[in-house]
Structure 1
């Protein structure tokens, strides 16, 4: 299939599907009329149970466009993440977990990411073993992202995250929780490559748009963020 000259992505994060949530099939049907692919930026379930994953997978099976996504911290809460991954993958999602995929000439690459803070205030690997273990997870996620980005061969690419790579798109959140909303290590990795855009969720009270230090556009697409579309999802043309 030839590459699309115009490729529109609908991106949304933090849908938090619960056991009693209303179905999302109507929303996904609306998105399918406006976009060529749907991107889900983590916290797909509310507490990471197979039941919640099944509810989402049921709606995804009826979505007529490709669906790409990453998990979020809520998807790990139930301690059944492997089962959640299997259910969502069987539901048709291209689940990015340190991996990439290509759709009509557009590369999608992603990881969940992790916390640790931003810029000069980013947590360093110093002191107690527990602190070093925490930082090691953040470093590991950045390394997995870099390895996955090296597999992308397309001219257009979208980086999909749950945690924020920059502080700009989490402005409006309480300052006390900034270190737990993302990590500059992700942006440092992204800026080693040329990407079309970056999407993330997790910061429900942030702002929609920012840029990495290297200039890559970053979009916070968490459900509660006000977006130019006026919808819960953002529409990005790549």
Structure 2
């Protein structure tokens, strides 16, 4: 984990041509009362992977205390950490404070930006709801519906801006919301429109993306692909993964 002194230094690009092992997980839902700690898990990941990616819902209610507890647990993580926020991180209206705490803890928190670590370019945004394929919500009718679609489009534009910043041939997209229907399968179909949007996949497929990770759908499916063929992984901590752990291990 980067110290406060190190966090403002340029990210090292060591072994840019070698494979990077990436541990990815989401939906930690750290609670204010600290009933569960990720300290040991982060220490384990540090021995297994080169980079840790967190795909949102890092806190349970977006409280400052929750972010502080997560930041404390992250002290046991000795590898770079990349992340995005999720919908739960916005719940209490303290998103600026939560963001500051996590960035101050050394997390490369992406909100429409990109960062390159060990030769891998990470492009991140929260994403948003809207539905998939021909069932995707259109901008028609009441102002509330149009506002929802506008938010979905704006998050997609943030992702596009992030992808345009990636210079590495190895690009990973980090989201909270799902870009495809396949990886939310297992959730009740009635809530599919609230779990992600095909707009994200349409943007991803315009760029040479090696892998996509997201969370949010706790009862979804681990793996799928965008229409253009980019592999997508639902790494919510609740999802069964090949590792048998709360995190997935991917090589790029």
Q: Is structure 2 residue 37 aligned with structure 1 residue 26? A: no
The superposition leaves residues 28-86 of structure 1 with CA deviations (integer Å, 9 ceiling, x where unpaired) of: 01111110000000000000000000000111123100000000000000110000000
Residue aligning to 2:150: 136
Aligned mates of 1:4, 1:189 — CA distance in 2: 26
Residue aligning to 1:75: 89
Alpha carbons 2:40, 2:76 under 8 Å: kept: no
**Equivalent residue in structure 1 for 2:27, among 14, 37, 48:** 14
Aligned mates of 1:156, 1:10 — CA distance in 2: 16
Task: Tell me the CA shift for residue 118 of structure 1.
Answer: 0.2
Instruction: Using structure 2 for the length normalisation, give the TM-score.
Output: 0.93
Aligned mates of 2:90, 2:109 — CA distance in 1: 15
**Equivalent residue in structure 2 for 1:59, among 66, 73, 77:** 73
The superposition leaves residues 141-189 of structure 1 with CA deviations (integer Å, 9 ceiling, x where unpaired) of: 0011101100100010110000000000000100110000000000000
Aligned mates of 1:180, 1:37 — CA distance in 2: 29
Structure 2 matches for 1:1-238, cutoff 5 A? 1-20=14-33, 21-238=35-252
What's the secondary structure of 2:237's corresponding residue? coil
What's the secondary structure of 2:22's corresponding residue? strand
What's the secondary structure of 1:139's corresponding residue? helix
Task: Tell me the CA shift for residue 4 of structure 1.
Answer: 4.6
The superposition leaves residues 2-45 of structure 1 with CA deviations (integer Å, 9 ceiling, x where unpaired) of: 41512110000000000123221100011111100000000000
Aligned mates of 1:47, 1:3 — CA distance in 2: 38
Aligned mates of 2:161, 2:32 — CA distance in 1: 36
Aligned mates of 1:79, 1:147 — CA distance in 2: 25
The superposition leaves residues 88-130 of structure 1 with CA deviations (integer Å, 9 ceiling, x where unpaired) of: 0001100000001010111001100000000000000001111
Alpha carbons 1:11, 1:235 under 8 Å: kept: yes
Aligned mates of 1:204, 1:104 — CA distance in 2: 30
What's the secondary structure of 1:61's corresponding residue? helix
The superposition leaves residues 171-220 of structure 1 with CA deviations (integer Å, 9 ceiling, x where unpaired) of: 01001100000000000000000111000000000110000000000000
The alignment of Structure 1 onto Structure 2 pairs a total of residues equal to 238
Unaligned runs of 5+ in 2: 1-13
